[in-house]
Amino acid sequence: MLVDEIMAQVSQRDPNQPEFHQAVQEVVESIVPVLERHPEYRSQKIIQRIIEPERAIQFRVPWSDDDGNIHVNRGFRVEFNSALGPYKGGLRFHPSVNLSIIKFLGFEQIFKNSLTGTPIGGGKGGSDFDPKGKSDAEVMRFCQSFMGELWRHIGPDTDVPAGDIGVGGREIGYLFGMYKKNANAFQGILTGKGLDWGGSLVRTEATGYGCTYFVNEMLKTKGDSFEGKNVLVSGSGNVAIYTIQKVHQLGGKCIACSDSQGFVHDPEGLDLDLIQQIKEVERGRISEYAAKRPSAEFSPNWRDIWTVKCDIAMPSATQNEIDANSAQTLVDNGCMAVGEGANMPSTPEAAEIFVNSGVLYGPAKAANAGGVATSALEMSQNSQRLSWTFEETDARLHQIMINIHASCQKAAADYGSPGNLIHGANIAGFLKVANSMMAHGLI
Ligand code: NDP
Ligand code: 2IT
């Protein structure tokens, strides 16, 4: 059996990379029917080639804190696949980062980027640096040290990083400054840039808006909408905040969100201005929200957010945040749709529960592709040396999400599992990459 063969090989080569194994297994299982129809992909060993990064860079990142103490972090950039364009994908700064996490994210990014219909390959990077509690000056020195190595590996036609967990506008600014100094070139080598120096309108909002547009497409297939729906959104970072904003614009009510220390439940509907003040301006903790809002209650176990009764769940924090238990609780409580803003937030067992229960399930690769899609729009604007209006960029993002939903639906139906968007996303994403790899020869 091909899946077992591939997984045995992956486990033997990279025994300590459980997140990477999980991501590979899901894709390989989905594309079995494609391989049956296309024996040329098997004979050309497309799977064996696609699961091996084209290049993986690991480097030392030394920096000194405000008291002069020296710290050494580890930096990564995995340039996974360039069949469709320059490597593209975010940088994650979080203490849990290791090669397994970066490889799972880079692998997912190949198929996600393919689904966007824009010309970008897949990559991911980051560091086990923890920006929490660090001063701006410490974050700047860390970013400068990180880019002091990374700059020689990236370029506007080679590899274009962006943000992810722990990397937002502030970090992108410091990283961009150091690249510009080292390369002596003002180039679009990062996306998520500031609006004054090459950034795109809507990039900040794009992942959350895109995920909400995607869920809206799923709801439409049942003649339904966000109107009057109670929604859970985990996390309270970039993706969560702009998911909440768009859900409210479409008539839904977000009633809970979280961070790594707990969740808040606000049955009257989340006050987004207050969340933005606490999280974006003060870089504080979500518990402060409950302290300032009488209708809200704080609970210290973040996983328990999934026990709150809801119509729609939009996990937007981190990988494997919904396990089988949480998935079953959501289903038992009447949850009808799940849209994944985070990358791989559902364990395989949880995803299976959603699919088998007939929940409208939008897997991460498809549902959160709006962020990277808008990064590709930022690259287009940089190439043209032009910038588009908010309305134009948002309209393009919206159309891209409609197209992704349609192509996942079509691929799922074409290959024998109508309505299963996990299969649809993996198959539609895979086909373009596989065909391009075939066209480029054995490289
Ligand atoms: P942020 O750093 O802005 O926010 C992350 C949020 O998730 C924070 O509230 C954080 O809480 C919480 N979180 C992170 N790690 C954990 C953990 N181990 N346990 C519990 N909570 C955690 O990141 P983003 O919003 O950008 O990213 C969120 C998710 O969306 C990630 O999975 C990312 O890969 C994915 N994504 C992001 C895109 C983007 O454009 N930014 C695009 C597509 C996907 P705390 O502050 O306590 O750590
Ligand atoms: O997971 C993701 O798609 C991102 N973090 C965004 C990547 C990007 O290049 O915009």
Give yes or no for residue 148 CB within 6 A of ligand 1: no
In a domain, 44, yes or no: no
Give me ligand 1 centre to Cα 318, in Å.
5
Give yes or no for residue 315 CB within 6 A of ligand 1: no
- The per-residue pLDDT for 267 is 98
Q: Is the pLDDT of residue 224 over 90?
A: yes
- Interval 232-266: pLDDT, tens: 999 999 999 999 999 999 999 999 999 999 999 99
From atom 20 of ligand 1, which residue's Cα is the shortest distance away?
A: 260
Query: How many structural domains is the chain composed of?
Result: 2
In a domain, 215, yes or no: yes
Whether 221 and 350 map to the same domain: the answer is yes
Give yes or no for residue 78 CB within 6 A of ligand 1: no
**What average pLDDT does this structure show over 281-303?**
97
In a domain, 6, yes or no: no
Q: Is the pLDDT of residue 1 over 80?
A: no
In a domain, 279, yes or no: yes
Whether 105 and 253 map to the same domain: the answer is no
CA-CA distances (angstroms) from residue 244 to 174, 236, 269, 316? 28, 9, 10, 10
Whether 360 and 220 map to the same domain: the answer is yes
Percent pLDDT > 70 in the chain is 100
In a domain, 402, yes or no: no
Give me ligand 2 centre to Cα 38, in Å.
30
Whether 178 and 252 map to the same domain: the answer is no
Whether 119 and 214 map to the same domain: the answer is no
Whether 167 and 81 map to the same domain: the answer is yes
**What average pLDDT does this structure show over 115-120?**
98
From atom 43 of ligand 1, which residue's Cα is the shortest distance away?
A: 368
CATH of the domain at 258: 3.40.50.720
Whether 127 and 256 map to the same domain: the answer is no
In eight-state DSSP terms, residue 158 is T
Q: Which of 372, 378, 381 to mutate to test the pocket of ligand 2 (most atoms within 8 A of CB)?
A: 372
Give me ligand 1 centre to Cα 166, in Å.
7
Whether 216 and 141 map to the same domain: the answer is no
Give yes or no for residue 342 CB within 6 A of ligand 1: yes
The last residue of one of the domains, among 188, 221, 250, is 188
Give yes or no for residue 371 CB within 6 A of ligand 1: yes
Percent pLDDT > 90 in the chain is 100
- Ranges of beta strands (E only) in 212-330 are 230-233, 253-259, 262-265, 297-299, 312-314
Q: Is the pLDDT of residue 281 over 90?
A: yes
- Asked whether 404 and 116 are in contact (CB, 8 A), the reply is yes
- The C-alpha atoms of residue 122 and residue 81 are separated, in whole angstroms, by 5
In a domain, 87, yes or no: yes
**What average pLDDT does this structure show over 376-381?**
98
Give me ligand 2 centre to Cα 142, in Å.
21
- Ranges of beta strands (E only) in 163-299 are 230-233, 253-259, 262-265, 297-299
- The C-alpha atoms of residue 234 and residue 232 are separated, in whole angstroms, by 6
pTM over 0.85, yes/no: yes
Whether 175 and 219 map to the same domain: the answer is no
Q: Is the dihedral of CA 276, 175, 379, 423 positive or negative?
A: negative
The last residue of one of the domains, among 367, 395, 419, is 367
- The per-residue pLDDT for 11 is 96
Task: Print the domain residue range for 73.
Answer: 53-188
CATH of the domain at 125: 3.40.50.10860
Whether 225 and 353 map to the same domain: the answer is yes
Query: Active-site residues: which are they?
Result: 124
**What average pLDDT does this structure show over 175-187?**
98
Strand 70-81 relative to strand 122-127, pairing: antiparallel
- Asked whether 115 and 429 are in contact (CB, 8 A), the reply is yes
Whether 292 and 327 map to the same domain: the answer is yes
Give yes or no for residue 131 CB within 6 A of ligand 1: no
What SS3 class is residue 421?
A: helix
What SS3 class is residue 338?
A: strand
Residues paired with 89 in a beta bridge:
161
Of residues 299 and 1, more confidently modeled: 299
Give me ligand 1 centre to Cα 82, in Å.
26
- The per-residue pLDDT for 2 is 87
The last residue of one of the domains, among 348, 367, 386, is 367
Query: Burial of 250 by CB count in 10 Å (0-12 exposed, 13-18 middle, 19+ buried)?
Result: middle
Taking all residues of the chain, what is their mean pLDDT, rounded to a whole number?
98
- The per-residue pLDDT for 147 is 98
Token duo for residue 150 = 């990374």
In a domain, 420, yes or no: no
What lines the ligand 2 site, CB under 6 Å? 88-90, 109, 112, 162, 164, 191, 343, 371-372, 375
In a domain, 38, yes or no: no
Whether 183 and 211 map to the same domain: the answer is no
